[in-house]
Amino acid sequence: MPDNLKSNVRLFADDTIVYLTISSLDDCHTLQSDLHKLEQWEQEWLMSFNPDKCEIIHITRKHKPIIYKYTLHNHILKSTNKAKYLGVSITKDLTWNSHINDITNKANASLRFIKRNVKTNSIKTKELAYKTYVRPKIEYCSVVWDPWQKQQIHKIEMVQRRAARYTLNQYSYQSSVTAMLEHLRWPTLQQRRNLASVTMLYKIQHQLVSIPVNTYLIPSKEHKFIQPFSPTNYHLYSFFPRTIRLWNSLPYQVACSPDLEAFKSGAKPHMYC
């Protein structure tokens, strides 16, 4: 990619995203200028971006956002309210209803598939099928979109509750699904997301992922972090404020674990309670 771009660029395989905070019309011009630079880069490296497959999404909650018609190869890029990036559906208001609808629909479809094709009485086989083909669909990138609204949490949990009935072959209305989950020793998906979140924070703190520590984490005492001020629920339940609350509830000896596996082992009983 050109070195003189002022916008942010992220590449992964054949996915490319270019983004910039837009505070004025000058920022729009900057972004458009960078698109022109990418056109020049294409020619130098004998590559091409297809304008018909490129989209613009304005991520904002402003009532009157700055709207600009961006072009690539003299084609006006179409605007969208929803875009998928690396398997995660992003909407213009950064809410996760659409993404959760997508993943639960796919997970339920996969569950119906294994119900039709894995009819064995073996609990272990059914459990393996669920954990292999269904559960990953509702946990991929969960640290990003982890919901806080009850109806969204319930919608995700219902996938696992259906899987529990299938695994134990108990479909009676009198049967307790909660008892089934306890029998199978399956933690709730919310508990698993909590563990995934604090595990990611451990990775960030120890620079195991490329996320700058000092930008988002302010140390307090005893391996805890200062809780940032959250003016809205959108921020309050976003990754860092939400996960810092979970992290600060961990015992000192868990937070200062010497390695990742020791941390996950120590944090699990506290996140699964």
Domain boundaries, the chain: 8-91, 97-186, 192-271
Mean per-residue pLDDT of the chain: 94
pLDDT digits (tens, 9 = 90+) for 12-68: 887 889 999 999 999 999 999 999 999 999 888 888 889 999 999 999 988 899 999
Average pLDDT over residues 214-237: 91
Nearest to 218 by CA among 236, 254, 244: 244
CA neighbours within 13 Å on the CB side: how many for 160? 23
State the Cα–Cα distance between residues 257 and 136, nearest whole angstrom.
Answer: 27
pLDDT digits (tens, 9 = 90+) for 178-198: 999 999 999 999 999 999 999
Instruction: Say what the alpha-carbon torsion angle 128, 133, 139, 140 is, to the nearest 10 degrees.
Output: 130
**What is the token pair recorded at 69?**
């018609």
Its pTM surpasses 0.75: yes
Please report, as a single letter, which amino acid is at residue 229: F
State the Cα–Cα distance between residues 21 and 7, nearest whole angstrom.
Answer: 9
**What is the token pair recorded at 22?**
């837009």
* Cβ–Cβ under 8 Å, residues 2 and 41: yes
Average pLDDT over residues 121-135: 97
B/e letters for 126-138, b = 16+ CB within 10 Å, e = fewer, are bbebbeeebbebb
